């Protein structure tokens, strides 16, 4: 509920601060006193665009601030979605700077106008004779029926499942698109993969093949050099083994002469053992080196294959080439498994459809049961409001389409006259009739759901005294469950308020200003008497005013 409103430097308002209570609040004032200015300022809080013409003093910024008690409105999730700090006493502030720029804040956090409008819709419903189009909207009509049908949980469950269903459908479409595109590439990817698999890639193989190729390609030179090494080691006259053997024999004799030659002898003997070992290895290598044209051709062929693949896939190593092979294998596997994935996703979609259909059936059944009760309530209320022949025909039909709140189509038909044809509300009801229908609907809704503060702006224009009395009773009844404001010119309605404010103009230093004041009981008697009989108070008007207030 709206607990306070502060307006500074707006239109004809210099500075205004007012506190409001719950229940039924009346706002009265002469035509032109500034009631529209008050609503205009409030509309800025609700996200309406502003301009410099709103400023009273063009050199000073305009500030409008409203405090709301939202503890019973279940708005924490909305604040979370909009990334706002939630406070039970929420403060909304709007500033219009002399430069023309506008700023908005919720609990001192900056917000854009879109967020302000979304939040504002949950806090205040400003309603006038000219603002009844909502009544003709299908979404609003469903909200009314679902409130009576107690469909909140079912519609919420349906909405959550619908989000899941749409996500699954999108994933299915993406898989089907992927399959369509993958089929085009499948053959080419399979060819590339087969080519890589036939190459039997081994990490590090390229280096070993290149080494083997160099050996096989230079086999005669290798054999010649190994043979030369063999003879240098083993020649009977000058071979290293013969020479070192002779040196060993000489030092063996010297070691017998003196121990100081023993160390040299042992070192020479170690050299002989090492050279003998080298000789054995060279001898073995000579046996291994043979010309093998077939193997040379095979190694060369494999090297050409590997180098061609490296160049084809624009990589530098066999390891990277193995990575390319694994990626291609995944692509081919995904393509080959797409049919299975598509079938699995289709099964998930089907299960979600079954669940949606079941919830939609529950919603439809509850709506069907609630419609007769809604028709009865509306026709009864409208009869009290002077529309004794008003009749509704609400047609609910199942469809195969998944809408945001179920699978139903709704036709909200109305006839204002006995024996008249039923037609859509916007075609069958006048502006005044729509206002009374909306009032009736709001009364019904107030008993089933927590509605935001509602402000009726001269909704009673053009109705008789008796009907206005009934309208006042309805607004008073609504105020038991919500905060209700009524801007009115009718004393019958003004007398029913729990609190009463008067909008008035006054001249201060030759400048006209608009103000708002709360009336006490005696002030209310005077105000209502003036509404009854004009500015000259008569005894009968005073008496009538007291009677109305009592």
Residues 6+ apart with CB under 8 A from 362: 154
- Tokens 């909207």 locate to 137
Question: pLDDT confidence of 229, banded at 50, 70, 90?
Answer: confident
**pLDDT over 60 at 224, yes or no:** yes
What is the mean predicted confidence (pLDDT) over 400-419? 91
Instruction: Give mean pLDDT, residues 426-448.
Output: 85
Distances (CA, A) of 82 to 108, 391, 450: 14, 42, 21
pLDDT at 170: 96
pLDDT at 468 over 90: no
Q: What pLDDT does residue 302 have?
A: 85
- For the record, the structure tokens of 183 come out as 């089929």
Question: What pTM does this model have?
Answer: 0.67
pLDDT in tens, 177-203: 888 877 777 777 778 888 888 888 888
Strand order in the sheet with 453-457: 124-128, 453-457, 484-487, 24-28, 499-508, 511-518
Bridge partner residues of 16 (DSSP): 7
Lowest mean pLDDT of 11-15, 360-364, 417-421, name the range. 417-421
Angle, CA of 130, 133 and 139, to the nearest 5°: 155
Chain centroid to Cα 7, Å, comes to 34
The DSSP bridge partners found for residue 504 are 515
**Does the pLDDT of residue 256 top 80, yes or no?**
no
Average pLDDT estimate for 139-152: 92
Within 10 angstroms of residue 533's Cβ, the number of other Cβ atoms is 17
User: What does the pLDDT read at residue 398?
Assistant: 95
- pLDDT the model gives residue 447: 86
Angle subtended by helix axes 431-446 and 318-384, to nearest 10: 110
**Mean pLDDT of the residues in the chain:** 87
Has residue 515 got a pLDDT over 60? yes
pLDDT greater at residue 8 or residue 221: 8
| Contacting residues for 80 by C-beta, under 8 A, at least 6 apart | 86
Q: Which of the two residues, 350 and 74, has the higher pLDDT score?
A: 350
Say how far apart CA 524 and CA 492 lie, in whole Å: 12
Mean pLDDT in residue range 115-140: 80
pLDDT over 70 at 135, yes or no: yes
C-alpha span between 359 and 155 (Å, rounded): 8
Q: What is the largest CA-CA distance in the chain?
A: 160
- If one compares 45 and 206, the residue with the highest pLDDT of the two is 45
Tell me the C-alpha distance between 68 and 206, whole Å.
77
Residue-level pLDDT at 292: 65
Q: What proportions of the chain, in percent to the nearest 5, are helix, strand and coil?
A: 60, 20, 25
Check whether 394 has a pLDDT greater than 70: yes
Average pLDDT over residues 324-335: 80
> For residue 253, what pLDDT band results from cuts at 50, 70 and 90?
confident
Return the higher-pLDDT residue of 364 and 448: 364
Whether residue 444 contacts residue 359, with contact meaning beta carbons closer than 8 Å, is answered with no
Overall average pLDDT of the 428-432 stretch: 79
């Amino acid at each position: 509920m709206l607990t306070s409103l502060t307006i500074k430097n707006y239109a004809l308002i210099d500075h205004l601060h007012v506190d409001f209570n719950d229940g039924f609040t009346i706002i009265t004032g002469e035509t032109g006193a500034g009631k529209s200015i008050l609503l205009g300022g409030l509309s800025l809080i609700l996200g309406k665009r502003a301009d410099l013409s709103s400023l009273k003093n063009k050199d000073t910024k305009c500030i409008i601030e409203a405090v709301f008690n939202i503890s019973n409105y279940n708005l924490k999730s909305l604040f979370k979605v909009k990334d706002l700090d939630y406070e039970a006493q929420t403060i909304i502030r709007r500033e219009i700077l002399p430069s023309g720029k506008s700023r908005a804040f919720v609990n001192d956090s900056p917000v854009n106008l879109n967020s302000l409008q979304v939040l504002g819709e949950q806090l205040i419903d400003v309603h006038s004779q000219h603002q009844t189009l909502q009544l003709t909207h299908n979404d609003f009509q469903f909200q009314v029926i679902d409130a009576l049908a107690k469909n909140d949980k079912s519609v919420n469950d349906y909405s959550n499942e619908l989000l899941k269903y749409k996500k699954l459908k999108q994933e299915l479409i993406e898989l089907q698109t992927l399959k369509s595109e993958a089929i085009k590439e499948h053959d080419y990817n399979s060819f590339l993969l087969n080519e890589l698999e036939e190459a039997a890639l081994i990490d590090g193989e390229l280096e070993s093949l290149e080494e083997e190729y160099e050996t096989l390609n230079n086999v005669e030179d290798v054999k010649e050099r190994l043979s030369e090494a063999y003879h240098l080691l083993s020649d009977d006259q000058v071979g290293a083994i013969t020479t070192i053997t002779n040196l060993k024999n000489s030092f063996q004799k010297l070691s017998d002469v003196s121990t100081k030659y023993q160390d040299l002898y042992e070192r020479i003997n170690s050299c002989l053992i090492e050279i003998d070992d080298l000789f054995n290895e060279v001898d073995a290598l000579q046996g291994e080196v043979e010309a093998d044209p077939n193997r040379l051709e095979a190694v060369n062929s494999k090297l050409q294959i590997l180098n061609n693949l490296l160049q084809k896939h624009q990589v530098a190593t066999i390891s990277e080439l193995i990575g390319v092979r694994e990626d291609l294998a995944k692509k081919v596997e995904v393509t080959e498994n797409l049919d299975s994935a598509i079938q699995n996703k289709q099964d998930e979609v089907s299960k979600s459809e079954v669940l949606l259909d079941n919830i939609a059936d529950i919603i439809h059944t509850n709506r069907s049961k609630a419609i007769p009760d809604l028709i009865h309530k509306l026709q009864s209320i409208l009869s009290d409001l002077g529309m004794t022949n008003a009749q509704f025909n609400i047609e609910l039909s199942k469809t195969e389409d998944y809408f945001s709140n179920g699978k139903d189509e709704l036709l909200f038909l109305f006839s204002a006259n006995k024996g008249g044809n039923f037609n859509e509300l916007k075609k069958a009801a006048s502006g005044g009739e729509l206002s009374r229908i909306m009032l009736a609907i709001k009364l019904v809704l107030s008993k089933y759901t927590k509605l935001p503060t509602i402000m009726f702006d001269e909704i009673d224009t053009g109705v008789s005294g008796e009907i206005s009395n009934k309208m006042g009773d309805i607004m008073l009844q609504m105020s038991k469950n919500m905060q209700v404001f009524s801007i009115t010119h009718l004393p019958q309605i003004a007398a029913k308020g729990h609190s009463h404010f008067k909008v008035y103009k006054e001249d201060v230093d030759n400048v006209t200003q608009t103000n708002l004041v709360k009336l006490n009981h005696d002030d209310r008697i005077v105000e209502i008497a003036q509404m009854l009989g004009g500015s000259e108070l008569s005894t009968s008007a005073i008496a009538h005013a007291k009677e109305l207030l009592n």
